[in-house]
């Protein structure tokens, strides 16, 4: 249990931003690459961000579980290339619809922030 | 929609612990292993790789904790745990539990009893037609700054001067013994005059209740309602009529003597002529009752002994 009095500290607010965008990142990854297990998703995000984005398990797996509970992804047990049992996550039709709207929302937000920061800067 | 769905799934997750801990742990361990393999391939000893992988991926235990929170509804889990803990604690201290249960039971019982009274006396309207028109009449005694039941003399005087009320009746309450059945019964009773029943708008269940005798005395004709006394309707009616006759005759005798019988309190009830007595109207009526009474010789007024 965490309690905040006043403003949350910097590290926490960073994590909050990550939490909000994690759904979008996972959905986009699954929509591009098809079914992946948890580690593959984390590895892909790390690779794309050139090591800038490292998800620990405590963030990634609860996020995946939440997406599954919301019906945006579906997890199924399967076998990896190395013959290991792993849970593969696939994006659902609802997940794709969600991705489209969230992407549009994100683009809008980015353009707003961009315009604002450039103008002020 | 999505959050609604999530709520349902999490409720289900709380109840069934689905997905199971074992599956979740397997998933996390695979994650750590795969991370370690990746690091080893980039170079480094297996031990170093495993340590680095753990560092980067975070602890399995912490992740499991976060997963359990996400799986179910943590507050519901906590609640269930608290309830279980409370029950266990109560079970191990039976004396305390008994005392606590007794206290709660007494509290509920007392509240229920008091509410029953409040409900009957205050909340529920009186069981008479147009109960909002019925008023209780009392006299105000300036000497004691308090209200008293009316004396018979005051009652009869008020009946004569009354213009505000459709009818005024008198009653006393008490208890009587009914011995008509196979066993005697103590029942609550009210002695009334004929005007009270009219004022309250009551009808006899059978026959008539009063008839005027030749000597000016009211003669009860008698009709009883089969009450939950266990007595038959006819015998109850006879017994009630008998009591009423005796009381009423004493009442009319008292009227001649102009003094209240010792230990008896007489009450009067009025019924308004039109509409409910609200606000100033009601106050006016009460005032008119009170202001007329000082003309009467009052049993409590100071008189120098002669």
Q: Searching chain B, which residue's CA lies closest to the CA of residue A43? A: B35
Q: What's the full length of chain B, in residues?
A: 306
Max mean pLDDT range (A36-40, B143-147, B284-288):
A36-40
> And the tokens for B177?
């013994």
Q: Annotate A88-105 with b (16+ C-beta within 10 A) or e (fewer).
A: bbebbebbeebbeebeee
**pLDDT at residue B41 above 90?**
no
CB contact under 8 A, A57 and B58: yes
How many alpha carbons fall within 13 Å on the CB side of residue B199?
A: 24
Which residues fall within 8 angstroms of residue B155, CB to CB, at 6 or more apart?
Answer: B168, B170, B266, B268
Q: Considering chain A, what is the average pLDDT of its residues? A: 83
What is the C-alpha to C-alpha distance for residues A113 and A116, in angstroms, rounded to an integer? 5
Q: Phi/psi at B51 (nearest 5 deg)?
A: -65, -45
Residues B191, B248: Cα–Cα separation, whole Å: 7
Q: Say whether pLDDT at A9 is over 50.
A: no
Put simply, the answer to whether A62 touches B69 (Cβ < 8 Å) is: yes
Q: What share of chain A is helix, strand, coil (3-state, %, to 5)?
A: 65, 15, 25
Instruction: Answer yes or no: do B57 and A38 touch at CB < 8 A.
Output: no
What DSSP string runs through B189-228? EEEE-HHHHHHHT---SSS-SEEE-TTS-EEE-------T
Shortest CB distance from A87 goes to which of B3, B27, B34? B27
ipTM confidence: 0.80
Interface list for chain A against chain B, based on CB atoms closer than 8 Å: 37-39, 42-43, 54, 56-59, 61-62, 65-66, 68-72, 77, 84-87, 94, 98
Give the gap in angstroms from C-alpha B84 to the nearest C-alpha of chain A.
21
pLDDT at B57 over 70: yes
How far off is chain A from B69, nearest CA to CA, in Å? 8
Q: Name the residue among A37, A58, A70 with its Cβ closest to that of B5.
A: A70
The pLDDT mean for chain B works out to: 71
Q: Which of A2, A49, A69 to mutate to test the interface with B (most CBs of B within 10 A)?
A: A69
């Amino acid at each position: 249990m965490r309690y905040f009095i006043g403003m949350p500290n910097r590290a926490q607010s960073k994590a909050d931003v990550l939490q909000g965008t994690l759904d979008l990142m996972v959905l986009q990854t699954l929509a591009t690459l098809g079914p992946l297990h948890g580690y593959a998703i984390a590895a892909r995000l790390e690779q794309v961000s050139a090591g800038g984005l490292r998800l620990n398990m405590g963030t990634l797996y609860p996020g995946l579980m939440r997406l599954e509970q919301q019906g945006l992804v579906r997890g199924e047990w399967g076998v990896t290339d190395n013959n290991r049992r792993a849970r593969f996550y696939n994006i659902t039709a609802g997940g794709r619809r969600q991705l489209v709207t969230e992407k549009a929302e994100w683009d809008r937000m980015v353009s707003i922030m961009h315009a604002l920061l450039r103008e002020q800067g | 929609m999505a959050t609604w769905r999530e709520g349902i799934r999490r409720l289900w997750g709380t109840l069934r612990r689905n997905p199971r801990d074992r599956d979740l742990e397997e998933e996390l361990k695979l994650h750590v292993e795969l991370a370690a393999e990746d690091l080893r391939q980039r170079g480094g000893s297996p031990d170093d790789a495993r340590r680095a992988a753990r560092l980067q991926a975070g602890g399995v235990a912490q992740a499991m904790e976060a997963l359990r929170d996400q799986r179910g509804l943590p507050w519901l889990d906590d609640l269930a745990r608290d309830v279980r803990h409370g029950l266990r604690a109560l079970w191990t201290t039976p004396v305390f539990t008994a005392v606590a249960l007794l206290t709660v039971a007494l509290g509920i019982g007392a509240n229920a009893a008091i509410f029953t009274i409040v409900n009957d006396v205050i909340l529920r309207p009186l069981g008479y037609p147009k109960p909002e028109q019925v008023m209780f009449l009392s006299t105000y005694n300036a000497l004691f700054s308090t209200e008293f039941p009316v004396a018979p003399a005051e009652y009869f005087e008020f009946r004569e001067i009354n213009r505000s009320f459709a009818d005024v009746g008198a009653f006393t309450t008490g208890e009587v013994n009914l011995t008509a059945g196979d066993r005697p019964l103590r029942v609550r009773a009210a002695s009334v005059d004929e005007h009270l029943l009219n004022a309250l708008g009551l009808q006899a269940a059978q026959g008539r209740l009063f008839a005027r005798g030749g000597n000016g005395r009211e003669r009860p004709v008698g009709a009883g309602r089969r009450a939950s006394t266990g007595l038959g309707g006819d015998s109850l009616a006879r017994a009630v009529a008998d009591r009423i006759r005796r009381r009423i005759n004493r009442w009319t005798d008292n009227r001649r003597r102009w003094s209240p019988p010792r230990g008896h309190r007489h009450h009067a009830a009025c019924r308004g002529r039109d509409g409910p007595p609200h606000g100033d109207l009601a106050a006016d009526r009460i005032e008119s009752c009170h202001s007329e009474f000082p003309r009467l010789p009052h049993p409590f007024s100071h008189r120098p002994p002669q």
